[in-house]
A and B are shown apart, each in its own frame.
Chain A
């Protein structure tokens, strides 16, 4: 099983450029999430989705956009990259329910210069 797959693994962007971080899961999970992780700061929620066609903002959504056209895919879009968006980005997915785990991708390390 592939689980949660993120691409690319690394990327360097120039200020003002745009890019899309890809995330796909093959577990038919209804919930999907995007987090960013800065050194010593834990993970902060950017956006989440409870199912295809439904997305909502998390704690730090400014500068990002998402879409969820299918159950499997949840891409994260950066429109005008800024140095403050230098971070490691993690995508995750889960079912609802108390006995269900959240599964994480391996992360995308993004540097904006």
Chain B
């Protein structure tokens, strides 16, 4: 059974810092990994999708990397802003089932 862990559970940083959020998974036979953002009381917004054959994906200030062999992904946020405050979730789709398995998320607060 795939298990996904996100560290840290919560993070509070001043504006302008570069951040790294971590996601680890136990079964390396994945199809892809997707990072989401969730604002309080809202739904999930997809940020980045990394296919199993890829090493990284970039969108604006966001960069996600994938190391299948070690079962890890990182989400790098450059020059953080208060508007980045949200919960960040990673979801892994494992070979054979295609069903996204989620971590518990990292709650991020960026203060001015």
Contact = CB atoms under 8 A, between A and B. Distances in A.
Interface stretch (A11-19, A68-76, A77-85, A93-101): A93-101
Interface stretch (B13-21, B74-82, B101-109): B101-109
A104 B49 contact: no
A107 to B, nearest CB: 5
Interface residues of B, number: 26
B68 to A, nearest CB: 12
Consensus secondary structure, chain B interface: strand
Contact of B100 (A40, A41, A102, A109): A102
Contacts of A33: 99-100
Interface string A37-81: 000111111001010000000100000000000000000000000
Contacts of B34: 101-102
Nearest to B46: A101
A41 B104 contact: yes
B104 A94 contact: no
B98 A96 contact: yes
B36 to A, nearest CB: 8
A99 B51 contact: yes
Interface of B: 4, 9, 31-32, 34, 36, 41-44, 46, 49, 51-53, 89, 91, 93, 98-105
Interface of A: 31, 33, 35, 40-45, 48, 50, 58, 90, 92, 94, 96-107, 109
